[in-house]
Structure 1
Amino acid sequence: MRSVTVRRYGRGARWLHALVYTGVLTELVTGAWFVLIGYEAGFVVGLTDVHEYAGFALTAVVLGGIVVGIRGARTFLAESVRFRRSDLRWFRHWPAGLRTGRFAYHDGHFDPGQRLANLVMVVLLAILLASGVGAMYLPGPFGIAVFQAHRFAAYAITPVLLGHIVIAAGILPGYRGVWRSMHLGGRLPEEVAERIWPGWLAGYRAAGTDRSGGYAIGAGSAEPGTGRAPTPGLRTWRGLWRARSGSARKS
């Protein structure tokens, strides 16, 4: 019997993610090489050009992704900045959950740790891209100051990205299987989604099932030509959460 799967991300989000992490990894590898052999030596082996062109390409991808997917960008930001007092409970249980997979309940599209990491990565990536361009074109002491900011942001974002890779790759026992949400069609086993994103899965289930053995995305009327309902907006998630909380109080 085939296990039920749920679609976490659509094709556009997966392609954008792949392009962004390809550019970021290129920047990190070439940037680390500058630290090891020195910036001047980078000119000799051509790494400086690779670093700069990759930076311009990454900037174009990020800006293009925001323009083309403005609704998704707004939802990403709104979901990343929302925090509740109950999120502190999730953080208290998180270290044990890395090993056991038993995390505290949360109702967000992202878990509280993801939200915090999203904000840190977005801010530092913006500083990296802006300061990288500024260091190339600003004259004298302004360019030097911006370059120092570029280096600081690079050092600060590296451990955050490494942690994100370890978690997203499913290396830790508690996060086994999550890598499928961004690869191979964006589907992952339902039990993995229930372990990591229980509130999101509750909204997903409320939308009904689709033809491919999983649940349809969202709630409400189907998208034209797809047979699937659109992704629930923030109001839908809040409504589901209020209904859930009301039922809990009555019981």
Structure 2
Amino acid sequence: MTKHRVRTVERYTRRTRWYHAAVYITVLALLGTGWWLLTGREGEPSPAARLTGAADVTLHTYAGWVLTGLTAVAITLGARAARTFVVESVRVDKGDLRWFIRWPVAVVTGRFSHHRGHFDPGQRVANLVLVTLLAALVASGVGLTMVVGGPGFVWLQRVHRWATYLITPVLAGHILIAAGLLPGYRGVARAMHLGGRLRVDTARRVWPGWLDRRLAEDDKQPARAEGDSPD
């Protein structure tokens, strides 16, 4: 019996996928330790603190510096990719409003309105919100390590706390969608995980404009069938 072969396409490069993994692991560590401290449990070691032998404040600080370093990498070594990310996130196309109107039903049916962007209109908004809040967290976090007491410290602490409050539900929504837990987004997790190869029919459903451009670019290197060697 001939094995059914499913066409796939690579949406993100391996380097991008590893960078994304480093960022979300670091952010999850920050949120985990941050919420532990925000809820007044500083004197009670978290599971992570017991596992590592380091205090939660220390873990939170280390994770913050790692995120700062990753941000610096994106701005310097990844400047070209960062520029593309920003350009694609701020783009506005005709038909975006129609996409938003149809989105509540499409998350169940998978019948999203057509769009031409690398990111869908909802992703673009989420990207801008996430980047803004992460920047606020990083900037206020660095500031808190440099300012000792006074009104400046109080102000930075307030910014840090509110950025945490706001980014938590946004990240939860991002994870819900990116993991493919909603019917309309089923299969999208492969874009960033499990080899990074996305089924063409999934890409057509969620990112139709991007897929058309990608397949046009890959005419000499057709999308590989699932199960073929990645290299």
TM-score by length of 1: 0.81
Number of residue pairs aligned between Structure 1 and Structure 2? 215
One-letter code aligned to 2:57: T
One-letter code aligned to 1:4: R
1:13 is matched with 16
CA displacement at 1:127 relative to structure 2: 0.4
8 Å contact from structure 2 (residues 42, 56) kept in 1: no
Share of identical aligned residues, percent? 51
Point out which structure has higher relative CO (alpha carbons under 8 A, 6+ apart): 2
Higher helix share: 1
Unaligned runs of 5+ in 2: 226-231
Would the alpha carbon gap of residues 42 and 145 (structure 1) be closer, same or farther in structure 2, given more than 3 Å must change? Answer: farther
8 Å contact from structure 1 (residues 169, 179) kept in 2: yes
Q: Alignment partner for residue 116 of structure 2, among 95, 98, 107? A: 107
2:55 is matched with 46
Within-5 A mapping of 1:156-235: 156-207=166-217, 208-210=219-221, 213=224
What do residues 150-207 of structure 1 show as CA deviations (whole Å, max 9, x unaligned)?
Answer: 0000100000000000000000000000000001221110000000000001111212
Q: Alignment partner for residue 26 of structure 1, among 23, 26, 29? A: 29
Within-5 A mapping of 1:65-144: 65-139=74-148, 140-144=150-154
One-letter code aligned to 2:15: G
Are 1:64 and 2:67 an aligned pair? no
Three-state SS of the structure 1 residue aligned to 2:76 is: helix
8 Å contact from structure 1 (residues 34, 42) kept in 2: no
Unaligned runs of 5+ in 1: 215-251
RMSD: 1.9
What do residues 64-115 of structure 1 show as CA deviations (whole Å, max 9, x unaligned)?
Answer: 1321111110000000000124100000000000100000000000000000
Three-state SS of the structure 1 residue aligned to 2:9 is: strand
